[in-house]
């Protein structure tokens, strides 16, 4: 049995359960997903690169906890890939970022991607994440569902309607794969299978992709290269 830890930051209880339930649903007879909590929260308005960098230590500590608890790999919740770069040096188990996994899996099943974010204010930062992974040339464009993270649940139907409309526009521009750059859009509030039927292109989302990639690395006996990520002494 391969054990993959899914690291979830601080959310209101109902929202935490919603995300934990989705993560646990990816468990199989060969892969057991477990939840580890992070002492930091992305659940607020107006997140900037400053807040994102400030929470990295909490996520790296969580990756260390996952390794100490016997997990074989660890994945953080969310497409910001929080603490992933530092985490790869901090632990010996694979640390897989959701955006990292989605981009690489999408590149196997298509050449041109459409990316969906919560709000226009997140486009620039999301583009920077994609650029960091060397995948910007694959991106047709960005669509927005129009609501910030804490407002999604209260505007569920509008989020779904806006997401489908904007994603279809990206497909019309040539996108062959859609990547939700916000897991609270899909798969938390929108079922990826249903979404694929609506869009008629693959949808690669940030729960299944990193969890399955993490398990694949473990099954192949692979982890991050120490030539690229030297082991931290701390």
Neighbours of 168 (CB within 10 A): 18
Q: What is the pLDDT of residues 48-64, one digit of tens each?
A: 778 778 888 999 999 99
The bridge status of strand 113-117 relative to strand 73-76 is: unpaired
Question: What is the phi/psi pair of residue 177, to 5°?
Answer: -140, 140
What was the pLDDT predicted at 155?
A: 84
Asked if pLDDT for residue 213 goes beyond 80, the answer is: yes
Which top CATH class is 2-97+209-219?
A: alpha beta
What value, to the nearest 5°, has the Cα angle with vertex 75 and ends 190 and 40?
Answer: 85
2-97+209-219 and 99-205: identical CATH topology: yes
Q: Could you give the strand order of the β-sheet that contains 113-117, starting from the edge strand earlier in sequence?
A: 139-144, 113-117, 177-180
The structural domains of the chain, with segments of one domain joined by +, span 2-97+209-219, 99-205
Asked if pLDDT for residue 185 goes beyond 80, the answer is: yes
Q: Residue 141: which of 163, 166, 160 has the closest Cα?
A: 166
Whether 142 contacts 79, CB under 8 Å: no
**What average pLDDT does the chain have?**
93
What was the pLDDT predicted at 19?
A: 92
The CATH architecture one would assign to domain 99-205 is 3-Layer(aba) Sandwich (3.40)
Q: Residue 122: which of 76, 77, 155, 78 has the closest Cα?
A: 78
């Amino acid at each position: 049995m391969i054990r993959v830890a899914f690291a979830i930051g601080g959310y209101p209880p109902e929202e935490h359960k919603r995300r934990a339930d989705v993560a646990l649903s990816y468990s199989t007879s060969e892969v057991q997903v477990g939840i580890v909590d992070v002492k930091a929260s992305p659940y607020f308005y107006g997140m900037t690169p400053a807040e994102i960098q400030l929470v990295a230590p909490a996520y790296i500590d969580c990756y260390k906890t996952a390794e100490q608890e016997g997990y074989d790999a660890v994945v953080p919740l969310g497409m910001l890939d929080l603490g992933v770069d530092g985490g790869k040096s901090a632990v010996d188990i694979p640390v897989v970022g959701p955006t990292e996994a989605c981009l690489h899996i999408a590149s196997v099943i298509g050449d041109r991607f459409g990316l969906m974010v919560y709000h226009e204010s997140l486009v620039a930062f999301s583009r920077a994440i994609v650029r960091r992974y060397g995948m910007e040339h694959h991106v047709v464009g960005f669509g927005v569902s129009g609501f910030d993270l804490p407002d999604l649940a209260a505007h569920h139907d509008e989020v779904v309607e806006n997401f489908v409309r904007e994603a279809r526009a990206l497909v019309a521009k040539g996108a062959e794969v859609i990547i939700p750059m916000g897991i609270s859009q899909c798969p938390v509030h929108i079922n990826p299978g249903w979404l694929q039927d609506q869009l008629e292109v693959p949808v690669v989302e940030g729960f299944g992709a990193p969890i399955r990639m993490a398990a694949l690395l473990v099954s192949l006996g692979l982890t991050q290269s120490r030539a690229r990520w030297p082991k931290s002494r701390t």
